[in-house]
Structure 1
Amino acid sequence: MQCLDDQRSPLLQLQHHLYYAPNFTFSSKFELWDPNTDCCFWEGVTCDPYGHVIGLDLRYKNLSGSFHSIFNLHRLQRLNLAGNNINTTLFSYGFDKLQNLTHLNLSSSCFHGQIPMKISHLTRLVSLDLSYQDDYYWRNGYYYYLPPLKLEKPNFKTLIKNLRFLTELYLDSVDISTQSAKWCETTSLVLSNLRVLSLSSCGLKGPLCSSLSRLSFLSKLILDGNPISYLPPNFLVNSSCLVSLSLRDCNLNGHFPTGILLLPKIQSIDISGNDQLMGQLPEFPANNALQSLLLSHTNFSGKLPHSIGNLKFLTYLELYYCNFFGPIPSSIANLSQLVNLYLGGNKLSGSIHSSLFTLPSLKTLYLGDNLLRGSV
């Protein structure tokens, strides 16, 4: 079916009210679409077999202006306005009119102010991304400050309580600091289907609740830059679906659960920048899937195990400024995928194996500030 007239009209209104604005400076009208052609074939537009617009993808177009007419597309399921320069609040927009919406991405588009209650009415949402709204922009030689997106009224609990089908939630850099530690229990109770949770630099306070481990489908957890301070014992060690964990610069102390390093699907771990966090590397089995292990500026200690050579998929190994000692295991020569190897700032001793310089993929090698000796 061709695009219906009642679907074409809101799109043409949208094109009329948007304009290109790189660096927040008016450049030209938005003229991506030819009104003399079928709107179902316009760039960024997806229609169902009956001519209804069900998808609109205008990401990274340097757009600014008003997008009110989008909310007349009541069959819309996917809306992506990420990476634009819209620079406004969200209050005046009728998100509650898009009851069929399953995917909403407004990231990195310079929205600010309170996240409106209307977004919590989108009960079919599977993926919500409001992350990384820039806090300043450059124009005519000056920096202009933008207040962050925030969750106060509604608060975090009110926003998500009806979004029980969410599998992906990205709120990085949204101010949720008023929630104290309650965000953790709320997430565990309400969002049981969650696969991705990304809440970096949100002002969240710890300690983390052990109930996060009940999110049986969780594959990606990113909480960088929050003053969490403490991990519960055996945190996530039974999370069989976990692929990626990032807790960088969270003021963590105590012992890091070794079991996380041995999870069957884990590929990426970043706990760097936690100076008081203690831990040791375990004996790695041959089937370990790790691709990235970043422990720099932590209080990890002990010897580097010979079994580190079993990490055949490892591309990034960054262990600088920890407290590791002893020799560099010769088994590192087995890591043919390794791109970055940072071992500086420890107490490593012995000689430097010539095999380090024959690793086929290696681009960066840092061994400084150790007790190494001999020739290179």
Structure 2
Amino acid sequence: MTVEATPNGTAYNAIFRSIFMLATRLLGQTNMQLIHQRPTAMTPQYNLLYFSALSVLLCMASAAGPEGEALLRWKSTLLNSSSLSSWSRAKSTCKWDGVDCDAAGHVTHLSLQNSGLNGTLDAFYSTAFWHLAELDLSENNLFGTIPTNISLLLSLTSLCLSNNNFVGAIPCELYGLPRIDWLDLSNNQLTNPDPTKCSHMSIMHLSSLILRGNKLNGTFPSFILNNTFVMLSALVLSDNAFSGSIPKGLGNLTNLKYMDLSWNQFSGVIPMELGKLGSLQTMDLSWNMLSGGLPQSFSAMHRIKKFNVGNNLHLSGNLPFEWFSNWTFVQVLNIANNTFTGSINKAFCQLDIQALHFSNNILSGVLPGCLWNLLSLEYMDLSSNAFVGEVPTSTDTTIPLVSLHLSKNKFTGCFPPVIKNLKSLVYLDLGDNKFSGKIPSWIGRSLPMLSILRLRSNMFHGSIPWEVTQLSYLQLLDLAENNLTGPLPRFGSFTYIKKIPKRKHGWWVIIDGRHRVHMDGIDMFNSSDYSRLEQMDIIWKGRDYTFTFSTSIMLMCGFDLSSNSFSGDIPAELLNIQGLQFLNLSRNNLSGGIPNNIGNLKSAESLDLSWNKLSGPIPSSISHLMFLSTLNVSNNLLSGEIPRGNQIQTLNDPSIYSNNLGLCGPPLSIPCKNDSSSTTALDGAKEQHHELETLWLYYSVIAGTVFGFWLWFGSLFFWKIWRLAFFGCIDAMQQKVMQQLKHT
């Protein structure tokens, strides 16, 4: 007879019936007599058989599931355990969600990642977990301290408690687990372990130590370097508050493949000993305060794939592009936001690189044409440097670039023709250069995936090609501060903004084929996601902001066509675009009225129509813009009462309506007569305009008199001949007058 370790009700009944029938045979009674006997007429033999069967069942149940009982005891302490509904005595422990067992029925793996658990680990430990090898409770809402008795799980090889709310010091005992090779405590609120207890700890078998995103501080943890034979292959200490210098001894961890010390406060130079890490595939030292140049020893790291020293601000020196050619496996290279100098030479073009982030340095020179031969290149940011000349062309039509940033350099020439070959391009930023000529019409046909187009602060002229309206994924259009003319496109087929599917904000890395860890930073392990590298300057609500693509910018949609010479009216079709969050048409020559359908911009947060020649009333539908927080319609020819109600009533700065002689009503100090009659307001405005004209006439007469007076006497002062002639005339007139007086 085969029975489950924790039998259900049917199994109990079958066992009871079998034992009961066997016992009746031994007592010499017929089965049917005892089975059909009424319970009220319980014989001593019946009682004996009943309690014997019950005892057997209780023994079987308690002996079969001590691990299950321990798990149920811990479950009972949780504040929220709805995801553990399968955990009950009615089902075999090995069939519970998140539980794996070996052939003998012992619990070996417990994986409850992202299960909505809320509680502590205080009641988790049990001596029954003798065979537990892997424990994953990541991405829950567990809190409290990590109990030291977790270190008594001597068979544990993998412990992942990341993305919870654990507090307190990291128990040093965890490092002493005899078989542990994977320890992930990232993204909690843990503090430094007691150094006096950790100093003697040996972590010989630990291959991956991940402590990112906690409250660790002080100098580099010395216990990591205590044993030179430590077999670490992954060390992640990012997003803490470590300070001081990076220790030279780190170069002795020769088995390291992944090293992430980013988002700390490490300072000083990068030790040359790190060049001895011959197995290193990923090095991330970004967002620290490191200084000096890159050690020459780095040229020997032949296996490097992802290299990031960006955002240290003080790393400097001539960038040694020539020894980057030794990095035959490099995929991601990030040196952004430092003070590196030099120019990109052709030797660099030998790399099979996927992402280049060189922005905000002092790199100079002309770009080599071979850059377009990097057939794996998907992301390139060379913005905010000192590159000059024209962007080189290429005949290759297989360039896989998704993102291209060339802004804030000194590039010249026409719109780069090579961009026509970038069929996969999503982000294009050519702003703040000296490009000229017309915006090509092929931009709408050749770049079907384009989502961000930033051409501001150049010298482009002509009109916006209508093909731009065919970019169905267009999300941000910034053509401000150029010399563009003509009417605004009608955007007739552009009725809503489709968004490119968002990239994941974090990333997973597979370390040894079994484990994975979630990182909320630049994907230095998975080069197909560059969302944290993306950034762009955008004028948002009248201010210049730098948005990152992994956060706000992926949610932003808007058009900025300001500071050009566009003329004609505002197309009503433009105001029908759903999802538009900002619209800036200021400082143009637009005329006509504000379209009545302006209330269709339901998502608008910022609207700037100032410094045009718009006339007529402000449509009342503008009060339907419930998210509007920035408005400017000043310096136009608008008239009538300013609409009231809803969100627009909170915009009480009079300057946003100023220099419109026909507007009246709050927040302006000009009252509307006859209870907000726009005609009366217009008559009053005309009267005020006449008064202003009279006042200007008086001012002009006075100014002319003063100017003429000083012009006349200034001439006498600076020209001697005029001065002598003038005073000669005065003397002659005086003599004539005196002579006439004598004769009289």
Q: Give the TM-score category using the shorter length.
A: 0.7 to 0.9
CA contact (8 A) 2:480 2:561 kept: yes
CA drift of 1:300 comes to 1.8
Query: Residue 424 of structure 2 aligns with which residue?
Result: 193
CA drift of 1:156 comes to 2.2
Query: Residue 560 of structure 2 aligns with which residue?
Result: 270
Quote the RMSD (CA, aligned, Å): 3.9
CA contact (8 A) 2:372 2:399 kept: no
Matched, 1:103 2:355: yes
Matched, 1:254 2:486: yes
CA contact (8 A) 1:286 1:311 kept: yes
Q: Distance in 2 between matches of 1:33 and 1:349?
A: 73
Q: Distance in 2 between matches of 1:180 and 1:349?
A: 42
Structure 1: any 5+ residue segments left out of the alignment? 12-19, 21-26, 46-50, 134-147
Q: Distance in 2 between matches of 1:238 and 1:347?
A: 33
Structure 1 residues 114, 357: closer, same or farther in 2, change over 3 A? same
Q: Residue 211 of structure 1: which of 432, 442, 460 is its match? A: 442
Query: Residue 339 of structure 2 aligns with which residue?
Result: 85
Q: Residue 379 of structure 2: which of 124, 127, 130 is its match? A: 127
TM-score, normalised via structure 1 length: 0.76
CA drift of 1:103 comes to 1.0
Larger deviation, residues 328-337 vs 32-41:
32-41
- Structure 2 residue identity aligned to 1:75: F
Matched, 1:164 2:417: no
CA deviation string 1:30-72 (max 9, x = no partner): 4699889995685448xxxxx9532222221111125535543
SS of equivalent to 2:316: strand
Q: Residue 269 of structure 2: which of 19, 24, 29 is its match? A: 29
CA drift of 1:325 comes to 1.4
- Structure 1 residue identity aligned to 2:472: S
Q: Distance in 2 between matches of 1:367 and 1:60?
A: 42
Structure 1 residues 221, 83: closer, same or farther in 2, change over 3 A? same
Q: Distance in 1 between matches of 2:654 and 2:601?
A: 18
CA deviation string 1:90-133 (max 9, x = no partner): 33x8422421x111110111111122345333221011111121
Structure 1 residues 149, 241: closer, same or farther in 2, change over 3 A? same
- Structure 2 residue identity aligned to 1:167: V
Q: Distance in 2 between matches of 1:289 and 1:194?
A: 22
Equivalent residue runs for 1:55-70 within 5 Å: 55-62=306-313, 63-68=315-320, 70=324
Structure 1 residues 75, 336: closer, same or farther in 2, change over 3 A? same
CA contact (8 A) 1:239 1:263 kept: no
CA contact (8 A) 2:614 2:636 kept: yes
Query: Residue 173 of structure 1 aligns with which residue?
Result: 408
Q: Distance in 2 between matches of 1:196 and 1:229?
A: 22
CA deviation string 1:207-266 (max 9, x = no partner): 222111112111111111222211265231222111111111110111121217944217
Equivalent residue runs for 1:301-312 within 5 Å: 301-312=591-602
Matched, 1:339 2:629: yes
CA drift of 1:191 comes to 1.4
Structure 1 residues 361, 265: closer, same or farther in 2, change over 3 A? farther
SS of equivalent to 2:356: strand
- Structure 2 residue identity aligned to 1:79: L
SS of equivalent to 1:228: strand
Q: Distance in 1 between matches of 2:329 and 2:653?
A: 49
- Structure 2 residue identity aligned to 1:149: F
SS of equivalent to 1:229: strand
CA contact (8 A) 2:359 2:382 kept: yes
Q: Judging by fraction of residues, say which structure has more helix.
A: 2
TM-score, normalised via structure 2 length: 0.40
Matched, 1:329 2:619: yes
CA contact (8 A) 2:615 2:636 kept: yes
Q: Residue 372 of structure 1: which of 638, 663, 677 is its match? A: 663
CA drift of 1:342 comes to 0.8
- Structure 2 residue identity aligned to 1:257: P
Q: Distance in 2 between matches of 1:57 and 1:359?
A: 49
CA drift of 1:288 comes to 1.0
Counting aligned pairs with the same residue, the percent is: 26
Q: Distance in 2 between matches of 1:310 and 1:365?
A: 25
Matched, 1:150 2:388: yes
CA contact (8 A) 2:625 2:648 kept: no
CA deviation string 1:145-178 (max 9, x = no partner): xxx30245xx5214x847611121111133332x
CA deviation string 1:317-347 (max 9, x = no partner): 1111012111122222222222211110111
Structure 2: any 5+ residue segments left out of the alignment? 1-206, 208-232, 235-250, 258-264, 287-301, 499-556, 668-744
Count of aligned pairs: 335
Q: Distance in 1 between matches of 2:338 and 2:269?
A: 14
CA contact (8 A) 2:434 2:459 kept: yes
- Structure 1 residue identity aligned to 2:348: F
Structure 1 residues 333, 32: closer, same or farther in 2, change over 3 A? farther
Q: Distance in 2 between matches of 1:261 and 1:363?
A: 36
- Structure 2 residue identity aligned to 1:187: I
CA drift of 1:271 comes to 0.8
Query: Residue 138 of structure 1 aligns with which residue?
Result: none
